[in-house]
Structure 1
């Protein structure tokens, strides 16, 4: 069954983002539209191998900790093997390190395709890619030679180990210790919790990226270092990494979340990655990629839910036409009911708009990393710092609401295990929590990114958006939507200026109290921008193909977004411009009572 649209994916990649033009950069010189399309074909073939019954089985039968090792469903083993054999783990890495120098934008599209089929399976390979990327960027030559070939081949997998019992969103409180040894290695001692894919029987070795504090290091985040900790050493001996237990989760059950202990017997060996006390900045390379990946996962899960709901709405007959002029003698498919159409269009608008936004962020990542122009590198660095948390949170939060709407289309059947919607609803719920909660990212956006360097990143962003707005204003069919987006951007800057004034009055609590709503406003603007971009291209193509249903659907969905979603900004504006902060003024006991 179709769970994503290849036509839509190609439209965004090649027509809107022109990702094929990345081959103007030396690093991507070998890739044109044809062979990039062939890579996506391979991903589609791999997705087709994932059987629905295996997804359901791996959800019902959670991984188990037996005899000191976690056992996972055999289908996960097969997926990891096929993914690695396709070369996808190291796809974006330089050829000199065993990679294929494929644009990260395309790698993100690969994972979107696969995530629409199984969001749990892709977690294992996503983590392996992240570990490989950190080693490729910060590792020593010896570390690259030792770890990369086995990670890229799928012989080994990886994790990132940040969270501790008393150190979740605030990593400054990490207590895991790293004790220097005479041979240059470190003895690692401590516990980590909620470690995705922290233990399993898929590979013979798991490479953990562990945040720890070297003895004598400064307190706070400036004293944290990053270490490579394999479960097995080069000689094959156990490295004193133990599994205390598995967390029994609401969703994404095919991927175990582990409570790990490092050094219970004081024999756990770790290897410093990069500079001492720079661990958090090194880990952010993996975390920023992971944040975009979480946003993409929201779109991938929402895609699966949308196409299940669309198919059901076309097949399920219930009720009569509301239009009395039409034949009311027979029941009609529920897709004929306006409220069902609203829910379907809402899902489609989120899915296609957010996917465009996330893939655009990945294209910025490709340009930032490989452009020879220093000014361009600075520009895309600023844009990524600004937009990455927005792409993550919008994709995650609206992924949840989009899947909920898909379940609603199914009615009571959606709530049962007979259909996949209840599993998708459980799977998607973790995304606003993964890789930094929505609230934490909102505080970072408003508290740091927006006003940094006198708001330079935001000014660059506005210039980027207005280029497309000005082009759209010349097209009669989308002029009104472009004009509305321009107006809402003015409102956004009015809000930003209003909030900035509060920082001068030493009222940080009032300034940041509704950061989450500010994030929502900004995210909606960005997806509105994507719909303007897509509508421009669709309209241009319609001049040659006026009857193309796909293109007409693009323009119609853009109209829906501006008719149903953009008006919500009015209420957000009113709240953000108000100085009344009930959340700040309410006492603890008033909430408890």
Structure 2
């Protein structure tokens, strides 16, 4: 099977486009040197080779099952978590104070990209433990931090997030899991949660659930939701682990991502499930949003790395499969040509490449803002945080939605073989489908972008973002070969601005339903423009590198291909914005009911 990612491309984005080595110049990351970042990525590749690639197919074929009161998953996952813990990679991006290595988010994201491209399902175990431990380290009491964080980062204990309930779905207003205060300061938790990824397994010594629940008497709605640590097992006075009456009552049989089980859990049905309040009462949703936002970037990254894997396999297949002849050759006796010679196959491969490499730019832009926010203070820090908040729903949605398209194009390249289990595209297509649903559906993120993030702080984030894009456009206009593309982006960004003002005028007039009715389409338009920006950024760097007369032939081919892919995106993807612009400027809202 083809390698699922191109390290040369990853290095290009990290080192040449974003120059992530410059982060070492900040005091916060001063303990690192750029070559140390390479060592982290080499370790991620070694773990992918030893553990993740061998489990890709078995994890899909051997689904998790509930045996007695324990969920049995692929046994080899234990060794993966053990090595991740020993390498310090589960919580590597945590600050030193929180028990981590203070590794930049850009490096952590690149490590996840490598591992996820190799096996998108298994890495959820380490990712969920990371998010849960970080939340406890950020908001939990000193006692909770000391009791749980390091054991979770070691890989011995794992973690989950428990939000969704059978009757509520994504509507967290309707959470009914209850928390009854006990005399010793803990709480008795009772209720059910569904779709809990990694909610149980046979090898973790303990599983730490972060549960949203309502303390008896709390206000209705999201203002009355608190967050609790509810371990699967409690430590008794002697340090022995005993049941905490967290019960797995069902395993959901999923379309894809089968190596990580999604569970239906009950708390307190067979005995008292003890929970410990995280932070202050009634602020649980605010705390959980930290983990959710981190996870949303992880979901977007997942869309990109599955797309990468699908592209590289489809490209290999196209370079080996001979079928048909050029349309200009009518001679039936001529030998078939490799399908990579057919124009439509080339179009599909370049569409795949343009989607995931553009999405990678958008994601690592977000990771860079995250890193810079940790190195800054005052207004500068606020600006980076606003930019990150604005772009997070976009960086989650574009790779997730367009990733489905990208993987489907890979299936087209393989033809009928792509629909069979003999080739990995079939599994990738099933795995990919969930990413537009994880951590909030596309519709929810459209509402978030247009309804909350764009107008937030009087539109400051959007204004700052526009300045960055305009600066890139100005730079590109100084390069004769890029002027046309800079002008295309300038025109498209102008239309996005017109749409934004038109929509905000609806909100100002009190037409809230009309304002948000097409928010998913606004998200699509916004994402298309943001990836076009990232492609112009990559094109500028590639052109600068080509001016070096000493560039090696292999690098020259790489940079030329970058510019070609940028042009492809502008000629094939950017024109799609025109239809979205026309729809979003149309005041007539048509609904069925």
Check whether TM > 0.5. yes
Q: 1:320 aligns with which of 322, 325, 332?
A: 325
Q: CA deviation at 1:202?
A: 2.8
Q: CA deviation at 1:452?
A: 2.1
- 2:492 match: 488
The answer to whether structure 1 residue 283 and structure 2 residue 288 are counterparts is yes
The answer to whether structure 1 residue 530 and structure 2 residue 506 are counterparts is no
- 2:571 match: 563
* Kept after mapping to 2: 8 A contact 1:189/1:266: no
* Kept after mapping to 2: 8 A contact 1:209/1:227: yes
- 1:245 match: 250
Q: 1:575 aligns with which of 572, 579, 583?
A: 583
For residues 5-32 of structure 1, the C-alpha deviation after alignment (integer angstroms, 9 at most, x for no partner) is 1010011011111111112222211222
Partner of 1:276, secondary structure, is coil
- 2:235 match: 234
Q: CA deviation at 1:372?
A: 3.4
Structure 2: stretches of 5+ with no match in the other structure: none
Quick one: distance in 2 between partners of 1:9 and 1:275?
41
The answer to whether structure 1 residue 409 and structure 2 residue 413 are counterparts is yes
Which deviates the most, 51-60 or 176-185? 51-60
Aligned residue runs from structure 1 range 395-544, under 5 A: 395-544=399-548
Quick one: distance in 2 between partners of 1:493 and 1:437?
25
- 1:147 match: 148
Partner of 2:80, secondary structure, is helix
The answer to whether structure 1 residue 208 and structure 2 residue 209 are counterparts is yes
- 1:184 match: 185
Quick one: distance in 2 between partners of 1:511 and 1:63?
44
- 2:9 match: 8
For residues 236-264 of structure 1, the C-alpha deviation after alignment (integer angstroms, 9 at most, x for no partner) is 11001001100011100011000000111
Aligned residue runs from structure 1 range 371-390, under 5 A: 371-390=375-394
Q: CA deviation at 1:204?
A: 1.2
* Kept after mapping to 1: 8 A contact 2:225/2:282: yes
Quick one: distance in 2 between partners of 1:276 and 1:367?
31
Change (3 A) 1:325 1:374: farther
* Kept after mapping to 2: 8 A contact 1:156/1:204: yes
- 1:46 match: 47
The answer to whether structure 1 residue 28 and structure 2 residue 29 are counterparts is yes
Quick one: distance in 2 between partners of 1:17 and 1:551?
16
For residues 480-510 of structure 1, the C-alpha deviation after alignment (integer angstroms, 9 at most, x for no partner) is 1111001100000011111112123322222
- 1:128 match: 129
Change (3 A) 1:25 1:525: same
Q: 2:334 aligns with which of 329, 333, 353?
A: 329
Q: CA deviation at 1:327?
A: 11
- 1:591 match: none
Query: Aligned Cα RMSD in Å?
Result: 1.4
Partner of 2:337, secondary structure, is coil
Q: 1:347 aligns with which of 346, 349, 352?
A: 352
Quick one: distance in 2 between partners of 1:70 and 1:324?
58
The answer to whether structure 1 residue 307 and structure 2 residue 308 are counterparts is no
* Kept after mapping to 2: 8 A contact 1:321/1:328: no
Change (3 A) 1:94 1:500: closer
Normalization by structure 2: what TM-score? 0.96
Change (3 A) 1:328 1:290: farther
Which deviates the most, 24-33 or 7-16? 24-33
Quick one: distance in 1 between partners of 2:333 and 2:406?
31
Q: CA deviation at 1:469?
A: 1.1
Q: How many residues align?
A: 584
Structure 1: stretches of 5+ with no match in the other structure: 588-593
Change (3 A) 1:283 1:68: same
